[in-house]
Amino acid sequence: MTESESVVYRVVPKCACSTIGQIMYYADQGKFFDGDIHDATSGMHKWAMEGSQQRIERAVRGRKIYSFTCVRNPYTRILSSFFDKICGIQRNGKRYRGNLVPLLVQKYGIEVGGDDGKQEFDQIASFRRFLLFARDTIRWKKPMEPDIHWSAMAGHISTFIVNGGRYNQIFFTEDFNPGMQVVLDNIYPKHPIDLAKIPRFNESEGHGPKRAHPVEAYFDDLSMHLMWEIYKRDFQLFRYDFENPANKMPKGPVDLDEVHAKLGD
């Protein structure tokens, strides 16, 4: 939530969350945060900060503050998670979650491009094995709890509704500027923001190897079956094209009433 309490955003990992956070920070502060916005400990309210929780809770339950979130095609979102979190070296110079990658190499036979993530490897075979691992974590919580970066968007988005919130808008990463502009038009930021001039704060870019193939090359029949098992609600609620992994665009706008009805129980 902005420091001025003008807008509340439910973060969904791998859905332009760094850029959105920076825009919210700029709206109040008139400048971007110097560094990864996820590391900011002042200048905005975050649930992880003890002093912010009561303010956010009051704002969400009061429903007087504009509230929104942003979603992304499940196919490109999980691919991004794989290349960033599994194959990439993180900001601290280490692998994501310490022993996670060695576990995947050992138990699932995944390759990640060597110690620095820069060597060539069979991206498609490794990704499909990672997808099996992601399914196992989500379905059976084994060999570990599911990670926020590949757990379903519907799960993230539902916690806001279950705890008394109501979204004014849910827009698409793939159509970012028009969606974010609707938010800005509703909150009257202290510092005007020209979205055409805002840089994209892609904090994961450069962490891992570049994707070598088109999106659809990574998903065979079995992979698509696993995707439906994990992300069925994401495809249905947010109108993404399950049948065609090559089509990253949604097939229609989000029905907010449907989202609140189906995720509010």
Provide the residue count of the chain.
Answer: 265
pLDDT beyond 70 at 207: no
What is the pLDDT averaged over residues 194-213? 82
Looking at residue 93, its pLDDT comes to 83
Helix then strand then coil, % of the chain, to nearest 5: 50, 5, 45
What is the pLDDT averaged over residues 66-75? 98
32-41, 69-78, 166-175: least confident range: 32-41
Give the pLDDT confidence of 224-245 residue by residue, as tens digits.
999 999 999 999 999 999 999 9
Count of Cβ atoms closer than 10 Å to residue 191 Cβ: 10
pLDDT beyond 80 at 99: yes
Measured in Å, how far apart are the chain's first and last C-alpha atoms? 24
Give the pLDDT confidence of 104-163 residue by residue, as tens digits.
999 999 999 888 777 899 999 999 999 999 999 999 999 999 999 999 999 999 999 999
Domain limits, the chain:
1-94+151-209+232-265
Looking at residue 78, its pLDDT comes to 97
Name the percent of the chain lying above pLDDT 90: 86
Q: Which residues contact 228 (CB under 8 A, 6 or more apart)?
A: 235, 242
Which residue, 83, 86, 64, is CA-closest to 210? 83
pLDDT beyond 90 at 100: yes
Mean pLDDT of the chain: 94
Name the percent of the chain lying above pLDDT 70: 98
Contact 174, 73 (CB under 8 A): yes
Confidence of residue 74 (pLDDT cuts 50, 70, 90): very high
pTM of the model: 0.95
Radius of gyration (C-alpha) of the chain in whole angstroms:
19
Q: Which residues contact 20 (CB under 8 A, 6 or more apart)?
A: 9, 11, 70, 180
Higher pLDDT, 98 or 247: 247
Instruction: Tell me which amino acid residue 69 is.
Output: T
Confidence of residue 199 (pLDDT cuts 50, 70, 90): confident
Looking at residue 116, its pLDDT comes to 76
